[in-house]
Amino acid sequence: MPIPFIQRQGKPLEQRFREDDPTRLRLKYEPYYHTFHRKEGSRVWRGDREYIMLASNDYLGLGDHPKVIEAGKAALEQWGSGTTGARLANGSRSFHVELEEELADFLGKEACHVSSAGYLSCMSAVASYARRGDVIFVDKNSHSSLWSGIQASGATYEKFSHNNPEDLRHLLSTEKREVPKIIVIEGVYSMEGHIAKLPEIAALAEEFDAFLVMDDAHGFGVLGENGRGTAEHFDLPDGADAVCGSFSKSLGGTGGFVAASQNAIEYLRSHSKQTIFSAALSPVATACAKAALGLMKEEPEHRRRLWENRRRYKAILDELDLDFWDSETPAMPIVLGDKEKVYFFWKALLEKGIFTVISVAPAVPPGKDLIRTAISAKHTERDIEQIAAAFAYAKTKI
């Protein structure tokens, strides 16, 4: 018989939800999950406020290009909204194969596989190839999707210092040569804007017989004379054994890819749970990505405008003596090193109509709390002038 004076506490998980400190702080200060109801060019609207979007990864501004929109509409009319199945089963379509062939050719790889999200692609590029008994050597600042792949693989791993080939060499040299090895890096580190030291790391992969996986989500479309990414930037077409990435950056859409040798891609299709159990990329998303890839190849002016805007934006940050973590790319963090400073800087930018994103520890290393910003080809001269004035104002608030 239950004792009436002992109150039931309820489900432990419900109590956890109520008492979670990160959620409480997020709801109190509202730095994330902002919803926009309108977009025109580089501008977005939230409620009755207009903002310049300075946190989008649509580097080339192709997300609302007329040819991309036209391709999406045509695909919707021809194929409907989805495939209602995984590629392994009933979800594969001719448009997937066409995009894969075009991407493989563009990246100089034998084959490619596209997935419904960049996160899934990058996760699968590690989880599919590594298994228990293998050793993964991973840059400690690698993206969450890569870490998810490492954890799912069952392989052991060693972290090497960020973008530090010498530390990587030391770790590789301590492992038995016969043990299968995988090196995991980003071509462009999204939080810092740093370009990977690919020549040195690729040479180590060859020397130690390691399979090199490179997430080039932020290099693809941005780096290289033709936008082929980090490998082209260094004139190393075979620099990485597998290149993965997302369509949500330079292609301005959704979805992701892994490009590698034919054998590696067929192995991925046999072993990737992220591929086998995920619905195929939608007709609209595939068509939009294919159209954007065509524009990336045919209209280099978007990339030229991106880098000119980046030059002007960097000059603003230099003039204000703001720390952008030595970024080499259009992903430009504003490092303030203190959560409170980051919050007030972000609020001041909002006051002046500039939308950015907060990123604080543990998402970044301690002392590197920052504002995430990204310049794009879409930003106009008027935008850049407003950004300069807003940043000057925000600096006075910290």
Q: What is the mean pLDDT of residues 345-351?
A: 98
Structural domain ending residue among the three candidates 235, 269, 298: 298
Residue 8 in any domain: the answer is no
Looking at residue 10, its pLDDT comes to 83
Give Cβ neighbours of residue 367 (< 8 Å, ≥ 6 apart): 337, 361
Residue 14 in any domain: the answer is no
Looking at residue 391, its pLDDT comes to 98
Structural domain ending residue among the three candidates 240, 264, 298: 298
Same domain for 175 and 254? yes
Q: How confident is the model at residue 201 (pLDDT cuts 50, 70, 90)?
A: very high
Is residue 317 over pLDDT 60?
Answer: yes
Looking at residue 4, its pLDDT comes to 58
Spatial separation of the C-alpha atoms in residues 308 and 310, rounded to whole Å:
5
Same domain for 265 and 307? no
Same domain for 274 and 305? no
Same domain for 89 and 26? no
Is residue 98 over pLDDT 80?
Answer: yes
Looking at residue 6, its pLDDT comes to 59
Q: What is the pLDDT of residues 3-23, one digit of tens each?
A: 655 566 789 999 999 999 999
The model carries a pTM of 0.95
Q: What is the mean pLDDT of residues 124-141?
A: 98
Look-up: residue for tokens 């919050």?
343
Same domain for 266 and 180? yes
Same domain for 152 and 262? yes
At 53, give phi and psi (nearest 5°).
Answer: -80, 115
Spatial separation of the C-alpha atoms in residues 361 and 290, rounded to whole Å:
37
Same domain for 48 and 74? no
Same domain for 102 and 197? yes
Q: What is the pLDDT of residues 49-78, one digit of tens each?
A: 999 999 999 999 999 999 999 999 999 999
Q: Residue 362's domain spans which residues?
A: 20-53+300-396
Same domain for 232 and 126? yes
Q: What is the mean pLDDT of residues 144-162?
A: 98
Which residues are registered as beta bridge partners of 156?
A: 135
Looking at residue 1, its pLDDT comes to 54
Residue 129 in any domain: the answer is yes
Same domain for 361 and 228? no
Residue 7 in any domain: the answer is no
Paired tokens of 124:
């699968």
Structural domain ending residue among the three candidates 298, 331, 355: 298
Residue 2 in any domain: the answer is no
DSSP state of 365: -
Spatial separation of the C-alpha atoms in residues 282 and 116, rounded to whole Å:
7
Q: Residue 105: which CATH number?
A: 3.40.640.10
Q: What is the pLDDT of residues 262-295, one digit of tens each?
A: 999 999 999 999 999 999 999 999 999 999 999 9
Residue 259 in any domain: the answer is yes
The more confidently predicted of residues 364 and 244 is: 244
Looking at residue 362, its pLDDT comes to 87
Percent of the chain with pLDDT over 70: 98
Same domain for 367 and 391? yes
Tell me the average pLDDT of the chain: 96
Residue 4 in any domain: the answer is no
Percent of the chain with pLDDT over 90: 96
Ramachandran category for residue 221: left, alpha or beta (phi over 0 → left; psi -120 to 50 → alpha): left
**What is the tally of structural domains in the chain?**
2
Q: Residue 341: which CATH number?
A: 3.90.1150.10
Q: What is the pLDDT of residues 161-189, one digit of tens each?
A: 999 999 999 999 999 999 999 999 999 99
Same domain for 151 and 185? yes
- The CA-CA-CA angle for residues 39, 40, 45, to 5°, reads 40
Looking at residue 5, its pLDDT comes to 57
Is residue 367 over pLDDT 80?
Answer: yes
